[in-house]
């Protein structure tokens, strides 16, 4: 018999809500069309920001949004995006198709968007083509409350109150698009930039660029270089699991292959944290993954630089399995930002003119939101592994996996069944407590390629499932190719 044992008396750590974070870059139609349509648009908006998108994002309780890039951040000069919109300069977006960046969406617009959806803004600073002075001035512009010229400019631009932006990263992917630095040179730049970023009113949370994937060298050499330098609070790796097949066309083996590849996140977290522990045994510096997700091939007929992709049940399982990994490693990872919010890569939302659709990945974020801030407790998943062939090699993936967290008297247990065709029955056992009642929500489809379109926006959506959840042992049958969220009132 397959078994899920939830040990309520074995807490791992509190799940930082920021694990459920997002990322929005000036790339393709993420910002322009996805968020910003302008006040004069026929698309319903509040001061230029789409109201349908705000409504949808608010529902999944986004804790934090990273902006303005990505690669775009290291070529972004924040002063281009303030002041009267008609006077803002038009620049070339060198990373994403050489399109014109009108700068209509800048600091004020982004902070307003964050406030509208209830998220904290996270600014990614420019190291590659910027200066310590430019970044230091951006912090002053946003956070200073005294009588400085920059604070007065902020007030003149409509915000007398400071923005109190807490999260700032010193560059993005500085081993690549952020300046092609080696870890030692970036370490030196990190210290030079961070030294000038001040805690005006708001204590800053400063984030350094970590490796591409699970590269131990970058991490070791960066931390060796910065030595005892203490103005660092976070260190962020990026991991894209890529694709197998295309976004919507894949074989059953490719379905498993991509989900299996997303599970490498667990090893990345364990190894990166272990290296960091060698330099920072007290874990004062948090491990972050501020870009992650699927990355499918370009769709014919769309601009290849815009990274637009569809989002199917397979993306939903990748998202769920990754969020379960983050939850289980709540003692090691403090923030995760899926790439990207709207119309780019593994998006929550797709738009087409005035139409908007939420994706299967969005529904996972909705179903998992009660994990935010809960205490992750240890859960053991015993199930028969699934075997599949990828690249001529036989590989294995779990039969059932997930995570459990407790908030007050409510337990959230989320479970992924990756089996493409078979339901899996399991006994769920609680140790250290028992269930008074419970409810179940399931995201599944008979077709592993199922996705939402503008014509069928609810083709994939979570549905309630009947189940008797009582006592400290009960059975549940997990649908094939599914994500299940079980909310239990503990008695």
Residues that bind ligand AHR (CB under 6 A): 25, 69-71, 172-173, 291, 339-340, 345
Q: How far is the CB of 194 from ligand AHR (least distance, A)?
A: 20
Closer residue to ligand AHR in complex, CB, 34/418: 34
Residues in the chain: 491
DSSP 90: P
Q: How far is CA 159 from CA 102, 289, 458, 488, in A?
A: 21, 31, 39, 44
257 is catalytic: no
- Spatial distance between the Cα atoms of 93 and 110, rounded to a whole number of angstroms: 18
User: Pairing mode, if any, of strands 286-294 and 333-339?
Assistant: parallel
Extract the tokens encoding 281: 């045994």
Extract the tokens encoding 85: 């919109």
Q: How far is the CB of 178 from ligand AHR (least distance, A)?
A: 8
Cα angle vertex 100, ends 99, 103, to 5°? 135
Q: How far is the CB of 296 from ligand AHR (least distance, A)?
A: 13
What is the number of other CB atoms lying within 10 angstroms of the CB of residue 436?
Answer: 13
Closer residue to ligand AHR in complex, CB, 202/303: 303
Q: How far is the CB of 22 from ligand AHR (least distance, A)?
A: 12
Q: How far is the CB of 361 from ligand AHR (least distance, A)?
A: 15
Cα radius of gyration rounded to whole Å, the chain: 22
Closer residue to ligand AHR in complex, CB, 8/177: 177
Whose CA is closest to 320, among 284, 358, 277, 363?
363
427 is catalytic: no
Closer residue to ligand AHR in complex, CB, 35/345: 345
Closer residue to ligand AHR in complex, CB, 8/339: 339
Closer residue to ligand AHR in complex, CB, 337/403: 337
Q: How far is the CB of 172 from ligand AHR (least distance, A)?
A: 5
Closer residue to ligand AHR in complex, CB, 22/108: 22
Closer residue to ligand AHR in complex, CB, 17/70: 70
Q: How far is the CB of 322 from ligand AHR (least distance, A)?
A: 15
- Spatial distance between the Cα atoms of 127 and 76, rounded to a whole number of angstroms: 10
Closer residue to ligand AHR in complex, CB, 346/417: 346
Q: 3-class SS at 12?
A: strand
Whose CA is closest to 69, among 139, 150, 19, 129?
129
Q: Which residue is nearest to ligand AHR (CB)?
A: 70
Q: 3-class SS at 21?
A: strand
Which runs of E-coded beta strand occur in 374-461? Answer: 375-382, 386-390, 393-397, 401-407, 410-417, 424-431, 435-443
Catalytic hit among 291, 382, 425, 427: 291
Extract the tokens encoding 428: 């769920």
Cis amide linkage into residue 71, ω under 30° from 0: no
Q: How far is the CB of 212 from ligand AHR (least distance, A)?
A: 8
Q: How far is CA 151 from CA 75, 135, 142, 146, 157, in A?
A: 24, 15, 7, 7, 10
Q: Half-sphere exposure (CA, 13 Å, Cβ side) for 395?
A: 17
Catalytic hit among 33, 173, 189, 257: 173
Cis amide linkage into residue 70, ω under 30° from 0: yes
Q: How far is the CB of 290 from ligand AHR (least distance, A)?
A: 9
- Spatial distance between the Cα atoms of 159 and 114, rounded to a whole number of angstroms: 15
Closer residue to ligand AHR in complex, CB, 25/445: 25
Q: How far is the CB of 213 from ligand AHR (least distance, A)?
A: 11
Whose CA is closest to 314, among 264, 261, 387, 259?
259
Whose CA is closest to 445, among 317, 358, 322, 354?
317
Q: Beta partners for 121?
A: 65
Cis amide linkage into residue 68, ω under 30° from 0: yes
- Spatial distance between the Cα atoms of 413 and 376, rounded to a whole number of angstroms: 10
What is the number of other CB atoms lying within 10 angstroms of the CB of residue 377?
Answer: 26
Active-site annotation, residues: 173, 291
């Amino acid at each position: 018999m397959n078994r899920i044992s939830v040990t309520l008396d074995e807490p791992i750590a509190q799940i930082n809500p920021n694990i459920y974070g997002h990322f929005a870059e000036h790339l393709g139609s993420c910002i322009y069309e996805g968020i910003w349509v302008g006040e004069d648009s026929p698309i319903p908006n509040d001061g230029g920001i789409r109201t349908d998108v705000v409504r949808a994002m608010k529902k999944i309780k986004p804790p934090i949004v990273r902006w303005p890039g990505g690669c775009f951040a290291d070529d972004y000069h924040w002063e281009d995006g303030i002041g009267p919109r008609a006077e803002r300069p038009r620049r070339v977006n060198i990373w994403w198709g050489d399109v014109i960046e009108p700068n209509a969406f800048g600091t004020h617009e982004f902070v307003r968007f964050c406030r509208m959806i209830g998220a904290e803004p996270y600014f990614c600073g420019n190291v590659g083509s910027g200066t310590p002075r430019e970044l230091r001035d951006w912090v002053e512009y946003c956070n200073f409350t005294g009588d400085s010229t920059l604070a007065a400019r902020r007030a003149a631009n409509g915000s007398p109150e400071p923005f109190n932006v807490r999260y700032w990263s010193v560059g993005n992917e500085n081993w690549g698009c952020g300046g092609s630095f080696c870890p030692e040179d970036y370490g030196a730049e990190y210290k030079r930039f961070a030294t000038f970023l001040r805690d005006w009113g708001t204590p800053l949370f400063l984030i350094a660029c970590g490796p591409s994937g699970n590269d131990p060298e970058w991490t070791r050499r960066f931390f060796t270089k910065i030595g005892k330098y203490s103005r660092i609070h976070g260190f962020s790796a990026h991991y894209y699991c890529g694709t197998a097949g295309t976004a919507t066309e894949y074989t059953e083996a490719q379905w498993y292959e991509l989900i299996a590849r997303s599970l490498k996140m667990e090893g990345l977290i364990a190894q990166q944290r272990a290296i960091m522990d060698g330099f920072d045994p007290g874990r004062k510096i948090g491990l972050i993954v501020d870009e992650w997700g699927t990355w499918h091939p370009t769709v014919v007929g769309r601009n290849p630089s815009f990274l637009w992709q569809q989002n199917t049940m397979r993306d939903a399982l990748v998202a769920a399995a990754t969020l379960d990994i983050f939850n289980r490693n709540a003692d090691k990872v403090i923030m995760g930002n899926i790439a990207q919010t709207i119309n780019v890569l593994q998006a929550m939302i797709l738009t087409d003119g005035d139409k908007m659709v939420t994706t299967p990945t969005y529904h996972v974020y909705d179903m998992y939101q009660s994990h935010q801030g809960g205490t992750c407790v240890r859960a053991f998943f015993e199930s028969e592994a699934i075997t599949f062939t990828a690249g001529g090699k036989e590989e294995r993936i779990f039969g059932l996996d997930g995570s459990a967290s407790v908030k007050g008297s409510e337990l959230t247990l989320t479970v992924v069944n990756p089996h493409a065709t078979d339901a899996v029955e399991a006994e769920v056992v609680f140790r250290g407590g028992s269930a008074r009642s419970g409810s179940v929500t399931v995201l599944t489809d008979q077709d592993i390629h199922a996705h939402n379109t503008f014509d069928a926006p609810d083709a994939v959506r979570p549905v309630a499932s009947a189940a008797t959840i009582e006592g400290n042992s009960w059975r549940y049958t997990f649908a094939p190719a599914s994500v299940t969220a079980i909310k239990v009132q503990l008695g």
